[in-house]
Amino acid sequence: MSNKPNANRRKFLRQASAAVAAIPVVSLVGMPAAHAADQAEDGHAHNYVNNAADSDHSDYSEGEKCKNCAFWGGGDDQWGQCFHADFQGVQVNAEGWCDEYVGA
């Protein structure tokens, strides 16, 4: 039996805790509610790319995309929120990918 699901779950819980801890900091910065978050660019963090198919990272597997990642917070067909601490204040592409990907 593979240990990968447990490792992924631990990674997700660790990163989700960091994301929750970052919420008050974001609130102190005072982002206006109506402010549309900037869109992440390739290389934003963790080898992020807006098109998963462009990734040549060794951890990438075909079919992995932001919209099916455990950190995906929802959005529209193209852009949405990522709950990972290093993607606060930006929207990520539904078709994007980074090396913090956790299968949902």
In the complex, the residues that contact ligand SF4 under the rule CB under 6 A are: 48, 66, 69, 71-72, 82, 84, 87, 92, 96-98, 100-101
Residue at 21: amino acid letter: A
Residue 14 falls in which region: left (phi positive, over 0), alpha (psi -120 to 50) or beta: alpha
Helix boundaries (H) for the chain:
4-29
CA atoms of 31 and 91, how far apart (whole Å): 14
In the complex, minimum distance from the CB of residue 53 to ligand SF4, in angstroms, rounded to a whole number: 13
In the complex, minimum distance from the CB of residue 11 to ligand SF4, in angstroms, rounded to a whole number: 10
In the complex, minimum distance from the CB of residue 46 to ligand SF4, in angstroms, rounded to a whole number: 6
Of the pair 33, 82, the CB lying nearest ligand SF4 is at: 82
Of the pair 32, 78, the CB lying nearest ligand SF4 is at: 78
Of the pair 34, 76, the CB lying nearest ligand SF4 is at: 76
Task: State the Cα torsion 66-68-70-76 to the nearest 10°.
Answer: 60
CA angle 21, 26, 30 (to 5 degrees): 150
Of the pair 36, 97, the CB lying nearest ligand SF4 is at: 97
